[in-house]
Amino acid sequence: METRKVQVTGGSSFVITLPKEWINSANIKKNDSLGVIVQPDGTLMITPNTDTQRASSIREFQVDDISSSSYLFRLLIGAYIMGYSGMEVKSKNPLEAFVRETVVEFTQIAIGPEIMEETDNSISIADLLSPTEMPFDKTIRRMHLLVRSMHEDALKSLKEGDEELAERIIKRDRDVDRLEWLVARQSNMVLGNISLGKKLEVTPEMANHYYLISRTIERIGDHAVKIADNVPVLLEKKTDGELVEKISTATELALKMFNDSIMAWVKRDKELANNNIERKTKLIDLCEEVTNHPSKSKGRHTIAVSYIAESIRRTGEYSGGISEIVINNLIKDLD
């Protein structure tokens, strides 16, 4: 680390010199403006980029050797999550039909990207969403409401014998995925552009916590889907009412843990987060009662009940994980 002595000019201005190598590498000229950003730890960041708007970055994909739609889709999602402002899909030959269909699917699912130009052998995609239009906290709250409703409807479908409701839960999971991709994208953008984080009032550390929470919520949503997948198996043969009630009791506790984990995050409440983690033992006991219930039938029915109990347990454990993230985030506030 280089050290520079502070000098005083004009009797009131404090100045330091800047490394010549850095000046040359950044192509800084006389009278250019530099950005000075105060970091949370009291250090200063000096940057030649005084524009808080994200820099344009394009990721190009040559698809001549790509024959899998799923692989191309993953590449596009990867570029989106890494924060690229645009993508170019190109081929030496006319684009195959599956390439165009995959690009269209990507733009319909991901939040922000749109097809801007298309030729026989290329497609240009641009992200039209400004990060300030979708703040982290609103996206997290939206994910929470979606996932909570998925679990509630999964239980409702079991109690009321509504297989169509269970099927709709599975389709709703895609909305959760696209919001999680958005949080991951914006987190990477903040990590790569401190000026953007300043504008959003989000530090790199906070961006990382937002991503961890969104990823955990997405996994809780996956378990709602697993429960919904197994509900029709239980409905094939009338399930004992006592077993359904035990599933209901365990689900309600898991959802309370989920709700309280988000509430602890919103209120920055360490005690609520800690109390929430302590509920895990009770939830495990309730899930074991479901798994070991004597009224279970054999075969597929037994397996389905076990899967449901496992997903309820994992929902509570993931909720406890969110509470741990909250405590970790607030540890600096401890006296």
Specify the CATH number for the domain of residue 313: 1.20.58.220
Q: What is the pLDDT of residue 299?
A: 79
CATH number at residue 103: 3.30.110
* Cβ within 8 Å of residue 234, ≥6 positions away: 158, 301, 304, 305, 308
Examine residue 2 and state whether it is found in any structural domain, yes or no: no
The answer on 164 and 19 residing in a single domain is: no
Tell me what pLDDT residue 334 has. Answer: 60
In a domain, 52, yes or no: no
Which of 109, 127, 145 marks a domain boundary? 127
What is the H or E stretch that residue 305 is in?
helix 300-330
* Displacement of CA 216 from its chain's centroid (Å): 8
| Co-location of 150 and 299 in the same domain | yes
Q: pLDDT tens, position by position, for the chain (335 residues)?
A: 777 788 887 667 778 888 888 788 778 887 777 777 666 666 777 777 655 444 558 999 999 999 999 999 999 999 999 999 999 999 999 999 999 999 999 999 999 999 999 999 999 999 999 888 889 999 999 999 999 999 999 999 999 888 888 778 888 899 999 999 999 999 999 888 777 887 888 888 889 999 999 999 999 999 999 999 999 988 887 778 899 999 999 999 999 999 999 999 999 999 999 999 999 999 999 999 999 887 656 678 889 999 999 999 999 999 999 999 999 988 876 65
Any idea what the CATH number is for the domain that residue 20 is in?
A: 2.10.260
User: Distance between CA 115 and CA 87 in Å, rounded?
Assistant: 9
How high is the pLDDT of residue 53?
47
Residue-level pLDDT at 204:
87
1 part of a folded domain? no
Work out the number of other CB atoms within 10 angstroms of the CB of residue 208.
16
3 state DSSP class of 124: strand
Separation CA 257–CA 106 (nearest Å):
34
228 and 296 in a common domain: yes
Q: Report the distance separating Cα 59 and Cα 247, nearest Å.
A: 48
Q: Write the CB contacts of 141 (distance below 8 Å, at least 6 apart in sequence).
A: 262, 266
Q: How far does CA 224 lie from the centroid of its chain?
A: 17
Residue at 42: amino acid letter: G
* 214 lies in the same domain as 250: yes
pLDDT at position 194 is 74
Residue 115 confidence (pLDDT): 96
Judge if 137 and 121 occupy the same domain: no
Number of separate domains in the chain: 3
Structure tokens at 167: 């099927």
Q: Are 155 and 251 in contact (CB under 8 A)?
A: yes
Strands (E), 107-242: 113-119, 122-127
Shared domain check, 74 and 28: no
Q: For residue 23, give the nearest of 2, 48, 51, 4 by alpha carbon.
A: 48
E-assigned strand segments in 103-243: 113-119, 122-127
pLDDT at 5: 81
Q: What is the largest CA-CA distance in the chain?
A: 88
- Quote the DSSP letter at residue 68: -
8 A C-beta contact, residue 275 and residue 319: no
pTM over 0.85: no
Domain that holds residue 113: 58-127
70: tokens are 């799923």
212 and 306: one domain?
Answer: yes
